[in-house]
């Protein structure tokens, strides 16, 4: 399937996310700037006024737009502290030239700190410090101090040497208050170059701004925050519009993808020129590959099913043979057609065929039962060495009767292991019985057991070996060739049962490719302990 890769859906999502982020950040930033601007304009300071410093230097005082500074006033004094310009006609009643020394200097040359407290058993005390800021050392240096009593009389210190006391107005100026409604700061500057004197004139700016209080701040903040009532609805509307556009695009892509996938209901339909995003196109291609894999899987399952059906048919044939013999011989007995001298031979044959049929049925039932998820072993911790020796002691007569020899190499020390005894006997039986059934007399059966990091068991023989074409599927169920050396006379389940039991004991079994002691066949089992 070839589709037209028009755009990348992941890039589209990233772009949409970026748009959402930019919208939120943009609206938030604009709102913040608006609020900040409103707050800044609610509390104008000398910094704002000095934006018009050039007009001050050129003495263009009337050119300063005071409309931008509501509630503010300023006054200009010359080098002799004489008033030369003011926007407040009452300034002389509050501050005269001599009072300028009590006003904090904006330039940072010096400033006053005032503390008031009550001494023990005494009246209220004022402590005034004049502090100089050293720009080189970034340190604050106290250059003078004064101590005032409750009546503002100077009782100690080196400030205001020409005065015996301060007035309430002077104390207010030291605290930065111009009046009840305004704060005050001063700023010293020099006017532009004067061609007559060849120097600029020294000037002192007295700037009065609205008093900052907690109430005024709260009012200003509440007023500024009203901006959110405008910005939030705008933000919501923009996000809704953007979400609608995004959702429409996604639905369109999903609809197209669904059309592509649905087309496979009509078997193999090649969809071209689709307007799918690149990622959705990849999904469609993956779906096509999945359909191909499912097709192959179904074909493989059908083959396995047919193989099982064939194996079951072979098993049925193998069961039918002994049952036919049993049926024929038993009818001969019923019809009294068996001579007395042959009755025992007939009965032995019936018994033998019955055992063969029973073993085949038991193998099939056991294998089917083992593959049930609810099947559990009945394990108990035993000495596997003693258990194995006891089993082999009982098995030895059968091996000897078959004209074979048994060689043992089993560790003497105890090896404790959680074992389902019946299951382990079935493991030993199926492997050793294969050696007995499919080898000639004189064959040596080899059994070895030892412990290192794992429990290791080797069972082998020096018999006819196993054909190459059988080795790869030796442990698969329903391998019916006699060359497979299974224990069930055609069931093909003997070694498959062994493998299942080994794995249920947290072990693994392999057919050793390079045997030792001249063995032709050798099975190695390893178990975690």
DSSP string, 462-517: SSS---HHHHTTTTSTT---GGG--SSTT---HHHHHHHHHHHTTEEEEE-SS-ST
pLDDT of residue 516 exceeding 60, the answer is: yes
pLDDT of residue 167 exceeding 80, the answer is: yes
60 plus 208 within the same structural domain:
yes
CA pair distance 86, 77, nearest whole angstrom: 9
The answer to whether position 295 is within a domain reads: no
The answer to whether position 24 is within a domain reads: yes
Interval 83-90 mean pLDDT:
92
pLDDT of residue 525: 96
Q: Looking at per-residue confidence, does 298 or 455 come out higher?
A: 455
Interval 386-409 mean pLDDT:
94
CA pair distance 506, 419, nearest whole angstrom: 11
Interval 325-341 mean pLDDT:
82
Interval 261-281 mean pLDDT:
59
Backbone CA torsion sign across 205, 208, 214, 219: negative
Question: What is the domain extent for residue 244?
Answer: 1-43+214-276
CA pair distance 498, 506, nearest whole angstrom: 13
pLDDT of residue 462 exceeding 80, the answer is: yes
Question: What DSSP designation does 2 have?
Answer: -
Instruction: Name the domain boundary from 352, 370, 388.
Output: 370
344 plus 480 within the same structural domain:
no
Place of tokens 């035993």: 382
pTM score, two decimals? 0.43
Structure-block tokens of residue 94: 């509050």
pLDDT of residue 393: 94
pLDDT confidence tier of residue 487, bands split at 50, 70 and 90: very low
pLDDT of residue 354: 77
Contact 407, 376 (CB under 8 A): no
CA pair distance 186, 208, nearest whole angstrom: 9
pLDDT confidence tier of residue 268, bands split at 50, 70 and 90: low
pLDDT of residue 456: 96
The answer to whether position 283 is within a domain reads: no
Q: Taking the CB of residue 355, how many other CB atoms lie within 10 A of it? A: 11
The answer to whether position 427 is within a domain reads: yes
- CATH at residue 326: 1.10.287.130
Instruction: Name the domain boundary from 213, 243, 258.
Output: 213
Structure-block tokens of residue 155: 């009782």
The answer to whether position 361 is within a domain reads: yes
pLDDT of residue 311 exceeding 50, the answer is: yes
230 plus 341 within the same structural domain:
no
pLDDT of residue 70 exceeding 70, the answer is: yes
59 Cβ contact list (under 8 Å, min separation 6): 76, 191, 192
Contact 430, 487 (CB under 8 A): yes
377 Cα distance to chain centroid: 39
208 plus 235 within the same structural domain:
no
170 plus 160 within the same structural domain:
yes
454 Cα distance to chain centroid: 38
Q: Looking at per-residue confidence, does 338 or 401 come out higher?
A: 401
Q: Please give the share of the chain, as a percent, with pLDDT higher than 90.
A: 27
Interval 171-186 mean pLDDT:
89
pLDDT of residue 489 exceeding 70, the answer is: no
Interval 421-432 mean pLDDT:
93
252 plus 271 within the same structural domain:
yes
Q: What's the total number of domains in the chain?
A: 4
CA distances in angstroms from 423 to 369, 463, 522, listed in the order given:
13, 26, 20
399 plus 476 within the same structural domain:
yes
Of 77, 246, 266, 99, nearest to 177 (Cα)? 99
308 plus 336 within the same structural domain:
yes
pLDDT of residue 176 exceeding 70, the answer is: yes
pLDDT confidence tier of residue 488, bands split at 50, 70 and 90: very low
Strand bridging mode 444-451 / 405-410: parallel
CA distances in angstroms from 245 to 19, 250, 257, 349, listed in the order given:
12, 9, 19, 86
* Element of type H or E holding 288: helix 278-334
Strand bridging mode 154-157 / 182-190: unpaired
The answer to whether position 282 is within a domain reads: no
pLDDT of residue 281: 66
pLDDT of residue 458 exceeding 90, the answer is: yes
Contact 367, 496 (CB under 8 A): yes
pLDDT confidence tier of residue 484, bands split at 50, 70 and 90: very low
pLDDT of residue 82: 93
Interval 171-196 mean pLDDT:
84
CA pair distance 4, 281, nearest whole angstrom: 8
pLDDT of residue 9: 65
Structure-block tokens of residue 11: 């890039």
pLDDT confidence tier of residue 421, bands split at 50, 70 and 90: very high
412 plus 513 within the same structural domain:
yes
Beta bridge partners of 125: 117
Q: Looking at per-residue confidence, does 368 or 377 come out higher?
A: 377
519 plus 389 within the same structural domain:
yes
The answer to whether position 523 is within a domain reads: yes
The values of phi and psi at residue 251, to 5°, are: -60, -40
Give the 3-state secondary structure percentages of the chain, helix then strand then coil, rounded to 5. 50, 20, 30
The answer to whether position 291 is within a domain reads: no
Contact 424, 500 (CB under 8 A): no
202 plus 345 within the same structural domain:
no
182 plus 322 within the same structural domain:
no
pLDDT digits (tens, 9 = 90+) for 9-63: 667 777 777 877 887 888 778 777 777 766 666 667 788 888 999 999 999 999 9
- CATH at residue 413: 3.30.565.10
pLDDT of residue 256 exceeding 90, the answer is: no
């Amino acid at each position: 399937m070839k589709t037209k890769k028009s755009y990348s859906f992941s890039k589209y999502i990233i772009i949409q996310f970026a748009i959402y982020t930019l919208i939120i950040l943009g609206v938030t930033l604009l709102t913040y700037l608006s609020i900040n601007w409103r707050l800044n304009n609610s509390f104008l300071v000398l910094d704002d006024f000095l934006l018009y410093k050039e007009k001050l230097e050129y003495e263009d005082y009337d050119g300063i737009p005071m409309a931008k500074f509501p509630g503010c006033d300023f006054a200009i004094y010359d080098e002799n502290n004489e008033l030369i310009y003011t926007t407040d006609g009452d300034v002389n009643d509050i501050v005269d030239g001599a009072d300028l020394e009590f006003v904090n200097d904006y330039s940072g040359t010096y400033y006053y700190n005032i503390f008031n407290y009550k001494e023990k058993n005494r009246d209220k005390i004022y402590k005034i410090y004049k502090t100089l800021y050293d720009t080189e050392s970034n340190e604050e240096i106290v250059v003078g101090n004064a101590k005032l009593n409750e009546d503002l009389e100077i009782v100690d210190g080196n400030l205001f040497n020409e005065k015996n006391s301060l007035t309430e107005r002077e104390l207010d100026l030291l605290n930065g208050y111009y009046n009840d409604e305004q704060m005050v700061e001063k700023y010293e500057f020099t006017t532009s170059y004067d061609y007559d004197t060849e120097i600029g004139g020294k000037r002192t700016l007295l700037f009065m701004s609205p008093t900052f209080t907690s109430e005024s701040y709260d009012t200003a903040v509440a007023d500024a925050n009203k901006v959110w009532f405008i910005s939030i609805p705008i933000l919501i509307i923009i996000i809704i519009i953007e979400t609608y556009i995004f959702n429409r695009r996604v639905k369109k892509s999903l609809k197209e993808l669904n059309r592509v996938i649905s087309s496979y209901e009509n078997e193999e339909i090649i969809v071209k020129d689709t307007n799918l995003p690149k990622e959705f196109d990849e999904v469609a291609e993956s779906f096509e590959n999945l359909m191909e894999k499912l097709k192959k899987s179904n074909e493989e399952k059908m083959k396995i099913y047919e193989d099982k059906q064939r194996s079951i048919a072979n098993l049925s044939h193998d069961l039918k043979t002994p049952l036919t013999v049993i049926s024929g011989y038993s009818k001969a007995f019923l019809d009294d057609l068996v001579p007395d001298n042959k009755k025992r031979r007939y009965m032995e044959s019936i018994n033998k065929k019955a055992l063969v049929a029973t073993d085949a049925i038991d193998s099939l039932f056991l294998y089917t039962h083992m593959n049930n998820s609810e099947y559990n072993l009945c394990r108990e911790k035993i000495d596997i060495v003693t258990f194995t020796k006891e089993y082999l002691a009982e098995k030895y007569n059968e091996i000897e009767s078959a004209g074979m020899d048994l060689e043992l190499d089993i560790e003497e020390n105890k090896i404790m292991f959680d074992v389902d005894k019946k299951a382990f006997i079935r493991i030993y039986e199926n492997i050793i019985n294969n050696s007995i059934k499919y080898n000639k007399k004189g064959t040596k059966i080899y059994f070895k057991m030892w412990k290192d990091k794992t429990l290791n068991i080797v069972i082998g023989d020096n018999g006819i070996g196993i054909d190459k074409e059988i080795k790869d599927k030796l442990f698969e169920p329903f391998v019916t060739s006699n060359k497979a050396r299974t224990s069930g006379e055609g069931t093909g389940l003997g070694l498959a049962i062994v493998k299942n039991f080994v794995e249920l004991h947290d072990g693994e079994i392999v057919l050793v490719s390079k045997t030792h002691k001249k063995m032709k066949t050798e099975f190695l089992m390893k178990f975690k302990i």
